[in-house]
Structure 1
Amino acid sequence: MSERDTVAALKRLAEARSEFRLSELQKDLEHGQSLKDLAEDIRLHLGDLDLTITSAGDDYVISRRPKAEPFMPGEAGRERQLAFFRDPGVPDYIQRLVEAYIEQKTGKSWDDPVVLNRMANAILAQKSQYWKGREVSYRKAYSVLGYLAYHAPVYLVQFEHILWQIITQGLAKPHMRILDLGTGPGVVPLAIIDLYGRIGGGSAEIYAVEQSEEHLEAYNALVPAAAASKGNAVRVNKPIRGDIGALDVADLPDRIDLMIFSNVLNELRRIDIDRRADLVAGLAERLAPDGTIVIVEPADLANSTMMRQTVRAIADRGFSIHSPCSFIWGATCNPARCWTFEQKGNIRPTRLMERLGAEKDGYRFVNVDIKYSSALLRKDRTVEHTYRVPPGAKFARLSQLRRHQDRKINVVASLMSGNLGDTRTKVYKVCDGTPADPTYAIIPATLRGANRDALDGLTYGAIVQFYGVLVRFNRDHGAYNLVILPGTRIEPVGCPVEEGVEAA
């Protein structure tokens, strides 16, 4: 019997029972191998199946590994992180590391006019390539320096928001094994180091993969130094040089708790959605059974929609979408027109960004707003919201809105955006997992009373019941509007409120 058959038999027993004897597996296999040899053969696979083995006389006991309690920071650490989010920016020690690296790389002061001019040109070239839908190259030194000046500050704070979400949703362990695929100059590791250093609890070890030699040089100058300056909470391993599209999974560490694809899948323009999903699913062989995949992409229409389609394809390969999507009708969604993103408060510009912004057309080099599309996926079918529409409940599916145009109805849906409108007319993307056409909850400029602020402060992905909303069809955009009226009743379904924001 092959090794694959042995592992399959082991997996079947483990799924059926929380504890069993190795002799039971030996009997199932029927190939006469001694218990000692069989124990050695399966030992390498126990970690991937979250199993342990202990000797018991002439036999062995195989049991499920006890599940670690989720890591939660102490109150003081929590308050420090929330204070950071109220006035976010790149910490001074990271700014100084970046400035020192620029000086090391160029042999000039970080704010030398020649250096600033070359970085500005690199930023303009990158932005031009991006908006033309072309692959952005980081083979030259100033391309990486431009990235550190323009993109990195926002991406760093952005990932702190995502990591904080993972922690507060109970998905983090006291010690985390983290793999950042396509790490670039190490922005995600810097965010992890900074957050763990601030909250003063928990620990992590970071592995990273990157193919650009210039990015790796920056990574090695920035990330280990940042980790050393914040104590021993985060251990940084030497990054692996390689193309994530051509990695040998066997070369990667196993039992990864957090596998990150941050602003990287959109750059694989040479492969289609199914192949991207196959790539992620293949690399996820190294994920711990209770590990999490994080996918983050820019918030523009093309990349955001492509990300949702990719996430749906990954889910079809045996993973669950933990958040932000909730399939409250038990249906499979159609993400063809799913443009959703999250927006957070602007960051303070770095010293480097301020100097670039002081030059001619300086506004082109200031990047402070945080907008991103993201998703968390799991192997173990864990989801953020377990709510399902109760049988017989009088709610209309969003896929059936065409039947209810110009009528008042009841719906239940997830909140999939912040306010996309303005302070007068508020617009929120909503989804129940069924619609073919985009659907928005509209708070008209003329509305007064409690309903005006009823959606403020609810978290991204929160599930909300709407009673008595008016259905309108927006022909210009091919979308449905659910107009909230003075008599509309709005009831969040066990949804938390954004920390630091009062509920309406």
Structure 2
Amino acid sequence: MSERGSVEGPLAVDDAGRERQLAFFEEPAIPDYIQRLVESYIEKKTGKPWDDPVVLDRMRNAILAQKSRYWKEKRVSYRKAYQVLGYLAYHAPVYLVQFEHILWQIIDRGLAKPHMRILDLGTGPGVVPLAVIDLLGRLGSGSAEVYAVEQSEEHFEAYNALVPAAAAARGNAVRVEKPIRADIGALEAGDLPDRIDLMVFSNVLNELRHLDIDRRADLVAGLADRLSPDGTIVVVEPADLANSTAMRQTVRAIAERGPAIYSPCSFIRGTACNPVRCWTFEQKGDIRPTRLMERLAAGKDGYRFINVDIKYSSALLRKDAKKQHAYRVPPGAKFARLSHLRRHRDKKINVVAALMSGNLGDNRTKVYKVCDGTPADPTYAVVPATLRGANRDALEGLPYGDIVRLYGVLVRFNRDHDAYNLVVLPGTRIEPVGRPGGEGTEIA
């Protein structure tokens, strides 16, 4: 039987593999074999020990320059050796664990195959392939062949030094194909392998500054021709306001060209949303600093070189139009549309919506972005600091994108942010869709 001959069902993960991966997420840390590969690469590039004071100081300067440029221009260039070394030290650890979270979601939702062809566009030094190698190695099940595209010569060199060696260290469950040296903005579908199961754009579309939203969407939709019939597109961007909202607009534009949004958006009312003000992101547990990060942070203002928090905006699109949630608000169900909240100011109403964030507030006042897919002002479910009882934690821990019914929430308009708050009260009933319960009461 060929490598592709047994792909009818999803990738099955045994209990031991699942427990290992969940334990990893409890205390995420870059595995030692990857840290050693990065340290060895630094020594190869510089001709000095990876923790040589001169090397560390130059890496600090590169990191500070990258951060400064990012906050001014929302982009970074990686054309020089120390820029790439700085990336490996500061950004790569977070991005690696971040993609493990995304890949695990894909596997856990039954979207992964026992053997997958994965294409990483704008791979950089190979963070996404490293995440694939690490996660599949930990699971002890599943295999993949990884293709990648990268334009930067320095990133290309780092990829070739790190990714094949990591695959060998992890048991060769992942076959690493020779990366393609190209600008993804100038790619044609015919330049790429076909029958791709997972096509990844991780922290890359935002860097195509010469392309507007529509042209970025044209690019992705055109390359989607190389997907298998049940292939998945992953789009990931930083969680800041500018990049996150631009990503939502881009994903919506891609969906207008063919591939359907699988998650996190559900469009439970069958309407087209307006993503211009859609700032949503996920947050996961902090990673443990790497040895390299700790050495960089040992000097003055060391906090500038510690990067451990995981926040990102992402979306999955499918060629077969499969969706995470098939739920649609039933005809005649008496839930207010979020686009109609202006009619219900200072009233208690019932709504149904998707949970589009974790807690954006604090441990006292909890704030969760919600959306029902109607063109609406930003809307948040708010758990006041004064609330006590079971409702205080009712939204805590619910998966990103899950749909909930909220019975008896109080509508308040937040003038400072031109947004609506749905205030959870002691008598509010919170019911995740899919659990037993009725459709609620009438709303005038």
Question: Same fold per TM (> 0.5)?
Answer: yes
1:370-404, CA deviations, whole angstroms, 9 ceiling, x for partnerless residues?
A: 00000000111100000000111110000000000
Partner of 1:421: 361
1:35 alignment partner in structure 2? none
Per-residue deviation, residues 183-242 of structure 1 (Å, max 9, x unmatched): 000000000000000000010000000000100110000000000011121000010000
> Which residue, out of 50, 54, 71, partners 1:114?
54
Following superposition, the deviation at residue 66 of structure 1 comes to 9.4
Separation in 1, partners of 2:75, 2:286: 27
Of the three residues 291, 305, 310, the one matched with 1:365 is 305
The answer as to whether partners of 1:419 and 1:427 remain within 8 angstroms in 2 is: yes
Q: Deviations over 1:322-381 (max 9, x none)?
A: 000110001011001000000000000000000111111111110000000000001111
Q: Is the CA contact (8 Å cut-off) linking 2:78 and 2:152 kept in structure 1?
A: yes
SS in 1 for 2:93: helix
Please say if residues 337 and 436 of structure 1, whose CA atoms lie closer than 8 Å, have aligned partners that are also in contact: no
Contact 1:190 1:223 in 2 (8 A): yes
User: Residue 441 in 1 paired to residue 361 in 2?
Assistant: no
Summarize deviations over 1:23-73 as a string: whole Å, max 9, x none: xxxxxxxxxxxxxxxxxxxxxxxxxxxxxxxxxxxxxxxxxx997101121
Note the C-alpha offset of 1:274.
0.1
1:311 aligns with 2:251: yes
Partner of residue 141 from structure 1, selected from 73, 77, 81: 81
Hey, what does 1:182 align to over in structure 2? 122
Partner of 1:210: 150
Q: State how 1:229-244 maps to structure 2 within 5 Å.
A: 229-244=169-184
* Structure 2 length-normalised TM: 0.96
Identity value in percent: 82
Q: Which residue of 1 aligns with 2:279?
A: 339
Counterpart for residue 461 of structure 1: 401
Find the structure with the greater CA-based Rg: 1
CA RMSD of aligned residues (A): 1.1
Instruction: Judge conservation of contact 1:277–1:310 (CA < 8 Å) in 2.
Output: yes
**CA distance in structure 1 between the partners assigned to 2:286 and 2:376 by the alignment:** 33
Asked whether the 8 Å contact 2:272–2:375 carries over to 1, the reply is no
Higher relative contact order (CA 8 A, sep 6+): 2
The answer to whether the Cα contact below 8 Å between 1:315 and 1:321 also exists between their aligned partners in 2 is yes
Could you tell me how far 1:494 is from its partner in structure 2?
Answer: 2.3
8 A Cα contact 2:7 2:115, kept in partner: no
Q: Does 1:264 align with 2:193?
A: no
Give the whole-Å Cα distance in 2 for the aligned partners of 1:444 and 1:134.
34
Question: Is 1:170 paired with 2:110?
Answer: yes
Matched residue type, 1:80: R
- Asked whether 1:356 is paired with 2:296, we answer yes
Alpha-carbon distance, 1:250 to partner: 1.2
Letter in 2 for 1:192: V
Q: Residue type of the partner of 1:469?
A: V
Matches of 1:152 and 1:319, distance apart in 2: 29
Correspondences of 1:384-423 after superposition (within 5 Å) = 384-423=324-363
**After the TM superposition, which segments of 4 or more aligned residues of structure 1 sit over 6 Å from their partners?**
none
How do residues 219-258 of structure 1 correspond to structure 2 at under 5 angstroms? Answer: 219-258=159-198
Q: Does the 8 Å contact 1:444/1:484 carry over to 2? A: yes
Structure 1 residue 80 and structure 2 residue 38: aligned?
A: no
- Of stretches 424-433 and 129-138 in structure 1, the one that deviates more from structure 2 is 129-138
| 1:103 equivalent in alignment to 2:43 | yes
Opposite residue 302 of structure 1, the aligned amino acid is: A
Distance in 2 between the 1:324 and 1:383 partners?
9
Residue of 128, 132, 137 corresponding to 1:192: 132
Secondary structure class of the residue paired with 2:124: coil
1:251 shift after superposition: 1.8
Matched, 1:126 2:66: yes
2:205 is aligned with what amino acid?
Answer: L
CA distance in 2, matches of 1:426, 1:274: 36
Q: Which amino acid aligns with 1:375?
A: A
How far the C-alpha of 1:137 sits from its partner, in A, is 1.5
- 1:501 aligns to what? none
Partner in structure 1 of residue 97 of structure 2: 157
Give the match's secondary structure for 1:288. Answer: strand
1:139: how far off?
Answer: 1.1
CA distance in 1, matches of 2:395, 2:203: 29
Give the AA of the match of 1:211. Q
What do the CA deviations read for 1:94-130 (whole angstroms, capped 9, x no partner)?
0000000000000001011100010010011111111
The 3-state SS of whatever aligns with 2:12 is coil
TM-fit CA distance, 1:134: 5.4
CA distance in structure 1 between the partners assigned to 2:372 and 2:29 by the alignment: 35
Cα distance in 2, alignment partners of residues 411 and 191 from structure 1: 39
CA distance in 2: counterparts of 1:447 and 1:135, whole angstroms: 42
C-alpha distance in structure 2 between counterparts of 1:436 and 1:108, whole Å? 57
Q: TM-score, normalised by structure 1?
A: 0.85
**Aligned residue type for 1:433:** G
Deviation at 1:87, TM superposition (A): 0.3
Q: How many residues align?
A: 431
Distance 1:387 1:66 in 2: 31
Q: Does the CA-based 8 Å contact 1:72-1:168 persist in structure 2?
A: no
1:385 and 1:331 map into 2 onto residues whose CA distance is: 15
The alignment status of 1:378 with 2:318, answered yes or no, reads yes
Distance in structure 2 (CA, Å) of the matches to 1:189 and 1:378: 21
